[in-house]
Amino acid sequence: MRKPAEEEEISRSADRAIAESAPGALTALDDWGVDDLIALDQETAVAVLFESRGRQLRGDVPLERLLTASAIGRGREALAVVPVASKAAAPEPAEQPDGFDGLLLGESSCPASLVLATASGAAVRLRTEDAVNRPARGLDPSVVAWHVSGRIDPGDPVAPEAGRVLGCLIMRALAHELCAVTDHLLRRAVCHASERIQFGQPLVALQVVRHKLVDVHVMATAARAVLSSSWLAPEDWLLACAAKVSAGSAFMSSARHVQQICGGLGFTDEFGIHQYIRRGYVLDSLLLGSCGGEREVGAALASRHQVSPVPLTVLVGQGRRRREEGHDRPGRC
């Protein structure tokens, strides 16, 4: 387990590397030594990079390529994911083996070949050159995304084991990004409610406001704990799904309460929380969303006919990560 000061230093240097990244490129991260960190400590690498991307609202850094390289080992292939809304239009390989669509994030252009991760934990390699691929612009204009479609390359499959590892990784990576967005929203709300005087007192003097902020903090803390559990059993698909769903639920809670607490200011462009709310909704909609995700987790448990917790022997000696304690949340305004 890393010491808190080490975690903080790695997080700060990752922030600098993400800030210096050119759109669509990973050069700044290579200079930072991203491959070494992934090889040494995949959890920390994924956590600090995706959380930094969320904090900085960088929608143009294709971090997903690092995950394909790590899980599949064929270099940095582009990775698209199936959005929740398109699930019906993106059937499983067994049902429709040659046609898929998905969302490609952070890429400046759409490559001729890419990997697509589905919500069932499978991955396929697609050839996209014959399909119509178009930029995806919508709720979050800062996300550089593509609607992609294509046909499975029959001569170039992704091994099921590698696909499962990749699926777990992208679930956790998106959960980290969501956690960072939630933390930012909570921090802004705490600052706003502490400084905003109404009826002669700060908003945080009102119990209803205090308790709403605490409820968001509790959900965010729970999401962090589930995410951490998933890292302890990295190939457990159920836990990876639980982490994504939990992070999405915490974000939804923060979006609802934080926007209310921040009042009219929260609806201005200048205040800026809308950018994080836009980003959070997009992230929540990928692969497995908070709405319906709990049912999917329940279905996975039903299919196993058992409820197996993270083994005690795996929990031993793990302590808590610095980021699990939410030290960044109260913060400065």
Which residues 265-304 are close enough to bind another protein by CB under 8 A? 293-299, 301-303
Residue type, 151: R
Minimum CB distance to another protein, residue 260 (Å): 16
DSSP letters spanning 98-129: T-EEEEEES-SS--SEEEEE-TTS-EEEEE-T
129: helix, strand or coil: coil
Contact yes or no for 139/94 (Cβ under 8 A): no
Q: Kindly give the residue spans of alpha helices, DSSP state H, lying in 20-159.
A: 27-32, 34-40, 42-55, 64-72
User: Within 147-206, which residues bind another protein (CB under 8 A)?
Assistant: 190, 193-195, 197, 201-202, 204-205
What does the alpha-carbon distance between residue 142 and residue 136 come to, in Å, rounded to a whole number? 11
Question: Tokens in use for 184?
Answer: 């930012």
In this complex, which beta carbon is closest to another protein, that of residue 155 or of residue 317?
A: 317
- Among 91, 93, 310, 328, the residue binding another protein under the rule CB under 8 A is 310
Residues from 30 through 89 that contact another protein (CB under 8 A):
31-33, 36-37, 40-41, 43-44
Which is it for strands 100-105 and 79-81: parallel, antiparallel or unpaired? Answer: antiparallel
CA torsion sign, 21 to 22 to 24 to 29? Answer: negative
The least CB distance from residue 182 to another protein, in Å, is: 14
In terms of CB distance, is 116 or 220 closer to another protein? 220
CB of 278 to another protein, least distance (A): 25
Nearest to another protein of 139, 214 (CB atom) = 214
- Of these, 137, 218, 267, 268, which contacts another protein (CB under 8 A)? 218
How many residues line the site for another protein (CB under 8 A)? Answer: 75
Q: Which of 16, 134, 137, 256 binds another protein (CB under 8 A)?
A: 16
Q: Which two tokens stand for residue 129?
A: 């050159």
Residue 91: partners with Cβ closer than 8 Å, 6 or more residues away: none
CA 228/CA 215 separation, integer angstroms: 20
In whole angstroms, the minimum distance from the beta carbon of 331 to another protein comes to 10
From the CB of 28, what's the least distance to another protein, in Å?
A: 10
Among 20, 98, 161, 325, binds another protein (CB under 8 A): 325
3-state helix, strand, coil in the chain (%, to 5): 55, 10, 30
Q: How far is residue 166 CA from its own chain's centroid?
A: 14
- Long-range CB contacts (< 8 A, 24+ apart) of 130-133? 133/104
Choosing from 74, 134, 211, 256, the residue that interacts with another protein (CB under 8 A) is: 211
Smallest gap, in angstroms, from Cβ of residue 165 to another protein?
Answer: 18
| Residue from the set 73, 75, 155, 319 that interacts with another protein by CB under 8 A | 319
CB of 97 to another protein, least distance (A): 26
Sites for another protein among residues 220-249 (CB under 8 A): 221-223, 225-226, 228-229, 232, 239, 242, 245-246, 249
Among 213, 283, 286, 287, binds another protein (CB under 8 A): 213
Please state the closest distance from residue 261 (CB atom) to another protein, in A. 11
Where are the strands (E) in 168-212, listed by range? 197-198, 201-202
